[in-house]
Each structure stands twice: as C-alpha cells, then as structure tokens.
Amino acid sequence: MHADLAIVGGGPVGLALALEARARGFTPVVLEPREGPIDKACGEGLMPGALAALGTLGVDPAGHPIAGIRYRDARREVAHRFAGAPGRGVRRLVLHAALRERVDAAGIEVRVEKAEEIAQDDTGVTVNGMRARWLAGADGLHSRVRELAGLQPGAPRGRSRAPRFGLRRHYSIAPWSDLVEVTYLDDAELYVTPVDERTVGVAVLGGKPADLDATIARAPELRARLDGAAPASDLRGAGALRQRSTARTAGRIALVGDASAYVDALTGEGLRVGFAQASVLADRLAADDLPGYERAWARATRDFRVLTAGLLAAATSPARGLIVPTAARLPRVFGAVVERLAR
C-alpha cells in the first residue's frame, strides 16, 4: 500500500480529514489539482463550533470576531449574541493557508494532481496508480468521486425545488458590526461577514441568474454602508447548492463534506458539519468499520439537515415573508436555533 487513506480534494474538509487521519496513526495522501490557497464563494463565517473543531487540529486562522447573528428585512430586525465563545469571520484563502501549513508541518503528502481513474476491490482502492486501503471523496458540490463510486442519484421525479446559487465579493471597509448580518429580500438573502479589520465579505444566495450589485441596490441600508467602498476581491460564484447522494459509502470509498450531500448555505454551517464528518469518518476508519460511517454521518449532520431544510422550505415558499417577523416576535426561539447551529 502507498497510503492508508487517499483523499481526493484538498479544500478545508479534505485537509481536516488528513489531519484527523494522521492523529489516529494513519498515512493519508491528498490529491488536489489546484496549487496554492484555494478560494471559494462562501459566507466565510466560522461559527463557534467550527472554530473549536479547528482548534483541536492545531489550526487558528486570523480573522474578525463574530459575536452572533442578525436577521433583518425592510421593516424589522432581530439579533442573537452567542451565549458562549464567539465565532470568527475568516477569508477562505486565509483558512485554507492555515490548514495547509498545519498539514505540511504534520508531514502529510499533498499531490498536485486530479483523480482520473479510481478502481476498488476487496482489499483496497487504486487512484491514478496509487494504492490505498480506503479513499475519501472530499471534492465538493460537484464531486467526481461521488459519480465514479456510483453514489450520484438520478434526476428527481416530479417537481423539485428551483436550484439556488451563491455569489460573493469582498469590500475594503472597516466592519460596522461584530455580527453576521442576513438581509431577507423578496427572492434572495444578503450576508455580510466581517473578515478582518479592514474588510467585509458580502454574499447573495438566491435563484439564477443572480446579480450581486443589483441585489445590494435593493437593500438601502447595506447600499449606503458600501457607498464608495472599493471591491477587495473578484466576484466568485457557487452552485447549484443542493446536492444529493444515494449513500455515503460504497465498498472502500466514502464521501465527506459537500460531496456527501448538501442542503443549502443559508444557515452558514457547511464547514462545521464538514469538520464533524471528517472526525467521525476518521473514527470509523480507526475502528475498521467504514460501513458504520453512514450512521455516524447521519448523527453528525442531523441538526444541520433538519434546521436547514426547514428554513429552506420556508424561504422558498409563500411563508418567506414571515421568517424575519416570526423571529422578531419569538426571539428566544430564534436564539435557540442560532445556538443549536453554532455548536
């Protein structure tokens, strides 16, 4: 065997899995075709649980404290500050660089190559001619491993929810709040995340086509805040956000992170859930019980899937306009949901 675990995808979850595997005595190898820190269109808010998970891996990326979440619409707003430790807004490039530095320090091999061929048998997996005991697909929303492993479902029958997409750009302006601010418009949500002392990230989630500038123009308070602020990054997009898989394992292959299935980005907990999946997958490999990962994955992602699916159902229905008013009328309920997602 060349490695105990081949990890296809060197984003944050793939690198976290490599560190988790090394901590359990395995020899992981990461395959990632992109060199240098990898950017991605995302909200960039690390909730307290995600920050704590990184801490257990010895990773502490620089950023801006996040003390809670604020929801607003044209007439109302409601905010909840975390009861415990704060989260942190971290630019994706900074996060990836911090994880890669830790991976390099741990002596984990990262190969700059794309997984072209994957084959498995009863004793292992071969990828690009390299032999490993197991293989993990951490290659994102549009996972090639998911497809090659036969875990990509067919087209859904009947009516399905319209796909949602995301766009993100940074602006050179000092953050005006230590909260992640979510503005609900009729057909989209705007997210503002402080990521350092001089920069905020602004993302829009909604249907396609999306136009970040046009969406900001429909949010008067945010438009006024950003008036005159220079863009600090190029516009980046992601989607379609909702992805499914028929299972999380097939033989000696497992899926982790967005590759394993994804609901939506509107609760901002994708990385926290991905890190949790990496931890439980490493546990199951240490126990030589890869089939048990399916149950562990379900437990690790249950809260996220249930709460996100419920909020998404409301956000894509005639009840959308009631989300912020209801949260404002029931601040304790809103706070309880935020705390649950923040863990």
Q: What CATH number is attached to the domain comprising 191?
A: 3.30.9.100
Cβ count within 10 A of residue 84:
10
Domain final residue pick, 200, 224, 239? 239
Do the strands 87-89 and 45-46 form a parallel or antiparallel pair, or are they unpaired? antiparallel
Residue 107 is predicted with a pLDDT of 97
> Domain check: are 173 and 96 in the same one?
no
> Domain check: are 296 and 214 in the same one?
no
Domain for residue 184, yes or no?
yes
pLDDT tens string 52-106? 999 999 999 999 999 999 999 999 999 999 999 999 999 999 999 999 999 999 9
| Domain span at 217 | 165-239
Q: At 98, is the secondary structure helix, strand, or coil?
A: helix
Residue 312 is predicted with a pLDDT of 86
Domain for residue 315, yes or no?
yes
Name the pTM for this structure: 0.94
> Domain check: are 248 and 276 in the same one?
yes
Which stretches of the chain drop beneath a pLDDT of 50? none
Q: At 195, is the secondary structure helix, strand, or coil?
A: strand
- Cα gap 318→327, rounded to integer Å: 16
> Domain check: are 218 and 131 in the same one?
no
- Cα gap 42→120, rounded to integer Å: 34
Residue 85 is predicted with a pLDDT of 94
Domain final residue pick, 213, 239, 265? 239
What is the domain-level CATH number for residue 119?
Answer: 3.50.50.60
Domain final residue pick, 198, 217, 239? 239
Residue 17 is predicted with a pLDDT of 98
> Domain check: are 189 and 308 in the same one?
no
> Domain check: are 271 and 142 in the same one?
yes
Number of domains in the chain: 2
Give how far Cα 58 sits from Cα of 98, 133, 277, Å: 10, 26, 18
